[in-house]
Chain A
Amino acid sequence: MLTCKQFLDELSDYLDEKTDAGLRKKLEDHISECPNCWVICDTTKKTIQIYRGMDPYPIPSEIHTRLMSALELKMARKT
């Protein structure tokens, strides 16, 4: 049986589904018997999901306008 430390070391790969079948089985055996690691695993998964669904940052229009002006100036110099 893996220790909690060993489990946590593999947690990212486990959640990204990057572990091979053998390791995956060991990790699943661990969480089925360790409530703390189960909670950490479940809430880390939710953390990732909630960030993936984060709103795309709308760029403030004045910042976009200033960026375009700076670029146009640069383009005019280049040509």
Chain B
Amino acid sequence: MSAMSSPIEIDDEAAIVAQARLGDAKAFSELLRRYEGKIFRLALHITQNREDAEDVLQEAFLKAYEHLDQFQGQSKFYTWIVRIAVNQALMKLRKRKSDRSVSLDETIDTGEDTVAREIAAWDENPEQQYSREEINEILSSAIDGLAPIYRAVFVLRDVDDLSTEETAEALELSVPAVKSRLLRARLQLRDKLTRYFKRKGDDAFAYM
């Protein structure tokens, strides 16, 4: 481990990336520590399989390490590694014969006439009726009920808080494509969560 040299004192990501590019193993480990949790969560949401998600996580960081010289530094390191991870995750999906919905760029069945929306007001703080574990379970399984094209967009944009432009860059989609997927994802999730969070006794259903 001869590359383990200078300690990192600056909390500046560009500087850390520059150090890592010079072969500083500690700098690269710092990048890994920052983003491994998010990349693992994203991979888990796309592949919906723990083993595949772990493979994706490893492949993404190993590839990033190997090709660090190709990282231009114009975008965030996270956006760059997300792009690598998403490509790996989609390859995993393609390998599984049963799953045909493998592209982030396929045309969307808007299903405009078929979506029955549950319209009911929520409690003021609906999450307080559930334990933390229950909430996490409800939120995760709602995301997993979305099509893969919506999952990745929603997680990056609304869970990881990337901008629309960063999400577009990470997923190699156009800005309008990100926007339309985000809208559908948000509406579908709202629909799913309403089943848990609607105000008690408020059973007004409406179909649009």
Contacts and interface: CB of A to CB of B under 8 A. Distances in A.
A64 interface: yes
A57 B140 CA distance: 11
Contacts of A50: 126-127, 135, 139, 193
Contact of A58 (B1, B25, B37, B61): B37
Contacts of A55: 132, 136
B36 A59 contact: yes
Given A39-B120, A40-B119, A63-B57, A51 B62 contact: no
B136 A75 contact: no
B87 interface: no
A13 B157 CA distance: 13
B122 A57 contact: no
B65 A74 contact: yes
A71 B121 contact: no
B189 interface: yes
> Chain B contact residues (Cβ within 8 angstroms of A): what range?
35 or more
B37 A56 contact: yes
Interface string A8-38: 1101110110000000000000000000100
Counting contact residues on chain A (CB < 8 A from B), the size range is 35 or more
B32 interface: yes
Contacts of A66: 54, 58
30 contacts: A8-B183, A8-B187, A12-B182, A12-B183, A15-B186, A36-B206, A36-B208, A39-B119, A39-B121, A40-B119, A43-B190, A46-B126, A48-B158, A51-B139, A55-B132, A55-B136, A57-B38, A59-B36, A59-B37, A63-B57, A64-B36, A66-B54, A67-B32, A67-B57, A68-B29, A70-B62, A71-B65, A72-B1, A75-B25, A76-B1
Interface of A: 4, 8-9, 11-13, 15-16, 36, 39-40, 42-44, 46-48, 50-52, 54-59, 63-64, 66-68, 70-72, 74-76, 78-79
